[in-house]
């Protein structure tokens, strides 16, 4: 399929990430933007850009009809959905393909199968990959409570069409289950237009490991090792590393073979990740398959030296995979922190406002994927991501040391952020030892580590901005008030 001009149906960091690879491949790009994203970084980097509607994503970035119209208007022949929005929506993929455009992703049939978590579990079982015990035959609340008693607590309540950790709840008693069911169903209807839920046996101290896979249309399949995504809060990852410190070489091979068995069963073509939960005895269980580029792909690129976006585009063009399984290297170790505009001391509540101070880190083997710049307004309508900061080292200790040093350089003013939290994370003993699981944030240990300096930077940035404004006003003393301001400005400079 042709990919001569690519429309990126996304925004922020991931749109910029895709744009940069397209530049290397000399593929012209088309950006789309909502009203509040008119001056966004991805709009500035693209060759062409087009407005697609109001700020709320349901009226802009989620409007597939507008995306198709822009593709036809701009002459784009392919669409890359990035991640989020409609990246895993089979109906969106069908509309784009029916419009004669190349969809950078797996087929509609694969998205339908793996988007349904119950169907996906059945596929894993069919090829001999272990799954956790579950209840999915009924959807009535009382019937689910009765079945839960047979299954045994603790349990996870999950939307059948869920993804990205949305709507999931852990319950430990029948009472908690009764309270959780209406909430999970409500969130499932809001996010996925489907109220079906299922119950799955919960592991007490699980490790979350995802295997990166790639497949072409010629029957070639490879896995590009694994990432550890156990550092998560509210079932969403805040940091990743590759390879996993919990996975042995023997287990790595078993996980890779299991992931490829599932991919082959569904004739997968494209880039994707098969996710597993592991217990303390290193038994693994299929969790789900993510049929798109993942947010933690940078650490996989670090340890393999490969560009996964380039692989995606090449596969969509009908080309063969560039490497066989035996040729894929595993070099060193990589760590990534998701830098968000959020307050760790207030249950990671999102923060919005203007980035009135921004100093990003640099150094050897440091990468900062971002879609913002100094003066950018962080909107409450979108995910509060500022950047994804990653570091590589020949071993895990040096990778963590480089990450810690980079975080020490990072300065953000104007919004609450989690830079100091991540710095504390890279000093946390279980993380340093690689002995952590998904429950690492069960207790707010970081609150004892002095997260406060970020507020100081925000206040200092605001003061600098005020002084700059006063200086600009002082340059034109045309009224009595402005003369007084000019005098005050000179007085300040003499102090």
pLDDT at 349 over 60: yes
Write out pLDDT tens, residues 456-465: 444 454 455 5
| Alpha carbon separation from 481 to 191, 348, 365, 493 (Å, rounded) | 54, 43, 52, 19
Least confident interval from 258-267, 288-297, 421-430, 476-485? 476-485
Crossing angle of the two packed helices 297-304 and 308-316, in degrees rounded to 10: 100
pLDDT at 161 over 90: no
Of residues 307 and 444, more confidence is placed in 307
> Which residues are identified as catalytic?
292
pLDDT at 495 over 50: no
In 3D, which of 98, 87, 99 has the Cα closest to residue 9?
87
Query: Hey, which residues does 464 pair with through a beta bridge?
Result: none
Residues 6+ apart with CB under 8 A from 17: 309, 369
pLDDT at 294 over 90: yes
Mean pLDDT value of segment 278-291 = 96
The structure tokens 């392919």 sit at: 78
CA-only gyration radius of the chain, Å? 24
Residues 6+ apart with CB under 8 A from 166: 159, 187, 191, 192
The structure tokens 């970035």 sit at: 61
Of residues 405 and 481, more confidence is placed in 405
The structure tokens 């994707």 sit at: 272
Write out pLDDT tens, residues 45-85: 999 999 999 999 999 999 999 999 999 999 999 999 999 99
pLDDT at 268 over 70: yes
Confidence of residue 485 (pLDDT cuts 50, 70, 90): very low
pLDDT for 110:
98
Mean pLDDT value of segment 291-302 = 97
pLDDT for 162:
74
pLDDT at 30 over 80: yes
Percent of the chain with pLDDT over 70: 90
The set of long-range contacts for 147-152, using a CB threshold of 8 Å and a minimum separation of 24, is 147/199, 148/174, 148/177, 148/199, 149/174, 151/199, 151/201, 152/201
Domains of the chain: 6-104 (3.40.50.20), 133-201 (3.30.1490.20), 207-454 (3.30.470.20), 466-494 (no CATH)
In 3D, which of 27, 71, 107 has the Cα closest to residue 313?
27
The H or E element containing residue 393 is strand 385-393
User: Is the distance from CB of 245 to CB of 231 less than 8 angstroms?
Assistant: no
User: Is the distance from CB of 342 to CB of 351 less than 8 angstroms?
Assistant: yes
In 3D, which of 237, 284, 272 has the Cα closest to residue 129?
284
Of residues 449 and 329, more confidence is placed in 329
Confidence of residue 366 (pLDDT cuts 50, 70, 90): very high
Least confident interval from 140-144, 322-326, 377-381, 488-492? 488-492
pLDDT for 80:
98
Phi, psi of 320 (to 5 degrees): -80, 160
pLDDT at 220 over 60: yes
Residues 6+ apart with CB under 8 A from 324: 220, 222
pLDDT for 204:
87
| Residue-averaged pLDDT of the chain | 90
Confidence of residue 448 (pLDDT cuts 50, 70, 90): low
Three-state DSSP class for 385?
Answer: strand
Q: What's the rounded Cα separation, in Å, for the pair 400 and 409?
A: 15
Three-state secondary structure string covering 218-249: CCCEEEEEEEEEEEEECCEEEEEEECCCCCCH
- pTM of the full structure: 0.89
Confidence of residue 484 (pLDDT cuts 50, 70, 90): low
Write out pLDDT tens, residues 166-215: 778 888 898 999 898 888 888 888 777 888 888 999 998 999 999 999 99
Tokens linked to 178: 């009764």
Q: What's the rounded Cα separation, in Å, for the pair 38 and 61?
A: 13
In 3D, which of 2, 58, 14, 102 has the Cα closest to residue 385?
14
User: Is the distance from CB of 108 to CB of 94 less than 8 angstroms?
Assistant: yes
Residues 6+ apart with CB under 8 A from 468: none
């Amino acid at each position: 399929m042709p990919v001569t001009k690519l429309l990126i149906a996304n925004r922020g960091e991931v749109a910029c990430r895709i744009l940069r690879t397209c530049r290397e491949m000399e593929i012209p790009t088309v950006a789309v933007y909502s009203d509040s994203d008119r001056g966004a970084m991805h709009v500035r980097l693209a060759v062409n850009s087009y407005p697609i509607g109001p700020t709320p994503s349901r009226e802009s970035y989620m409007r597939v009809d507008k995306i198709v119209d822009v593709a036809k208007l701009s002459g784009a022949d392919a669409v890359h959905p990035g991640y989020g929005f409609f990246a895993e929506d089979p109906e969106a993929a069908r509309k784009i393909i029916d419009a004669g455009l190349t969809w950078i992703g797996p087929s509609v049939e694969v998205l339908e199968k793996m988007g349904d978590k119950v169907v996906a579990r059945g596929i894993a079982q069919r090829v001999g990959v272990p799954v956790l015990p579950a209840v999915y035959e009924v959807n009535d609340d009382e019937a689910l409570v009765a079945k839960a008693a047979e299954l045994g607590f603790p349990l996870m309540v999950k939307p059948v069409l869920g993804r990205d950790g949305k709507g999931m709840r852990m319950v430990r008693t029948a009472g908690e289950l009764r309270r959780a069911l209406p909430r999970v169903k409500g969130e499932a209807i809001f996010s996925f237009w489907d109220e079906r839920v299922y119950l799955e046996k919960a592991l007490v101290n699980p490790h979350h490991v995802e295997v990166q896979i790639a497949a072409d249309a010629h029957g070639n399949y490879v896995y590009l090792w694994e990432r550890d995504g156990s550092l998560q809060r509210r079932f969403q990852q805040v940091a990743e590393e590759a390879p996993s410190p919990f996975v042995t070489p023997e287990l790595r091979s078993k996980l890779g073979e299991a992931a490829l068995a599932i991919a082959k069963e569904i004739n997968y073509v494209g880039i994707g990740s098969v996710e597993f939960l592991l217990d303390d005895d290193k038994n693994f269980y299929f969790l789900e398959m993510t049929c798109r580029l993942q947010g933690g792909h940078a650490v996989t690129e670090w340890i393999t030296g490969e560009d996964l976006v380039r692989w995606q585009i090449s596969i969509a063009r009908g080309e063969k995979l560039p490497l066989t399984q035996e040729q894929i290297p595993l070099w060193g170790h990589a760590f990534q922190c998701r830098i968000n505009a959020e307050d760790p001391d207030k249950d990671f509540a999102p923060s919005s406002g203007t980035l009135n101070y921004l100093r990003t880190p640099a150094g050897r083997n440091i990468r900062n994927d971002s879609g913002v710049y100094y003066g950018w307004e962080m909107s409450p309508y979108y995910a509060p991501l500022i950047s994804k900061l990653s570091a590589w080292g020949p071993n895990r200790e040096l990778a963590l040391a480089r990450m810690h040093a980079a975080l020490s350089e990072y300065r953000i003013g104007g919004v609450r952020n989690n830079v100091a939290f991540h710095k504390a994370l890279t000093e946390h003993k279980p993380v340093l030892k690689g002995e952590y699981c998904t429950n690492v944030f069960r207790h707010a240990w970081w609150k004892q580590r002095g997260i406060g300096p970020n507020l100081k930077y925000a206040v200092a940035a605001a003061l600098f901005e005020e002084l700059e404004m006063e200086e600009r006003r002082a340059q034109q003393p045309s009224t009595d008030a402005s003369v007084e301001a000019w005098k005050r400005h000179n007085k300040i400079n003499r102090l």
